Amino acid sequence: MSASKVRLWAVLAACALSLAPGAVSQRTEQEAIDVLKGLVPIGMRSIPSEHMAPNLLVGDRVAVVAIDRDLRRGDVVVYRHPNNEGVVMITRIVGLPGDTVQMKGGQLILNGEAVSRKLVREVTYVPDDMPRIVRAFEYEERLPGAEKPLTIFEYGDSDSLDETPEFRVPAGHLFMMGDNRDNSEDSRAPSGHRAMVAA
């Protein structure tokens, strides 16, 4: 994913403020107001899939804002799909230019170091795209340089994208991953994002 394309299109506030009633409980009203102070909203987007659960849920609406600073690991960004300009993606930055990124047994390895994660609990839910209950493990994961940990879901540690080669992020590009790690096709996929048809 080209970093310049992300900047040109717009950056979602790093905290990924969700305006949906179900997600507001994660953030107090005052915290939401403080996050938006001084920012100019440039659009709204609806979350179309579960790739960012549990932080952004299907149907959540998010305010898209331009920010005037360098992109960081952990930022959630809005960008056009690299293989289809008609598809808009909302995903988290995990790797910056020059970083190496790899998955080993479900564990994120960044620049040769395992990223710390702590099991919080086991959860069950019904995915939006299938009529059955699934089990997921909720982890807290702390990306290097992040102020606080982020919450991720893993179904297990043996999914097809839980074992990858080591990727080196080229200059001018970013490495993107969904928070719902086993329900996200992202930069870990063998060809990056596959070609998609705009809905």
pLDDT by residue for the chain (199 residues), tens digit each? 544 434 333 333 333 333 333 333 455 667 766 766 666 667 788 888 888 999 988 888 887 887 778 889 999 988 887 777 777 888 999 999 999 999 999 999 999 999 999 999 999 988 777 788 889 999 999 999 888 899 999 999 988 899 999 999 999 999 999 999 998 888 998 655 544 443 3
Distance between CA atoms of residues 51 and 177, nearest Å: 9
pLDDT of residue 70: 86
Distance between CA atoms of residues 170 and 4, nearest Å: 12
The reported pTM is 0.77
Residue 20 φ then ψ, to 5°: -75, 140
> Any idea which residue has 């994913």 for tokens?
1
Looking at residue 27, the DSSP 8-state letter turns out to be: S
pLDDT of residue 33: 67
Distance between CA atoms of residues 30 and 12, nearest Å: 19
Say if CB 52 and CB 180 are below 8 A apart: yes
Nearest to 87 by CA among 5, 152, 18, 171: 5
Distance between CA atoms of residues 90 and 103, nearest Å: 21
183: CB partners within 8 A, 6+ apart: 49, 50, 51, 53, 127, 153, 155
> Any idea which residue has 């930069």 for tokens?
187
Say if CB 52 and CB 179 are below 8 A apart: yes
What is the longest distance spanned by two Cα atoms in the chain?
Answer: 43
Distance between CA atoms of residues 50 and 57, nearest Å: 6
pLDDT of residue 30: 72
Q: How many CA atoms lie within 13 A of 98 on its CB side?
A: 0
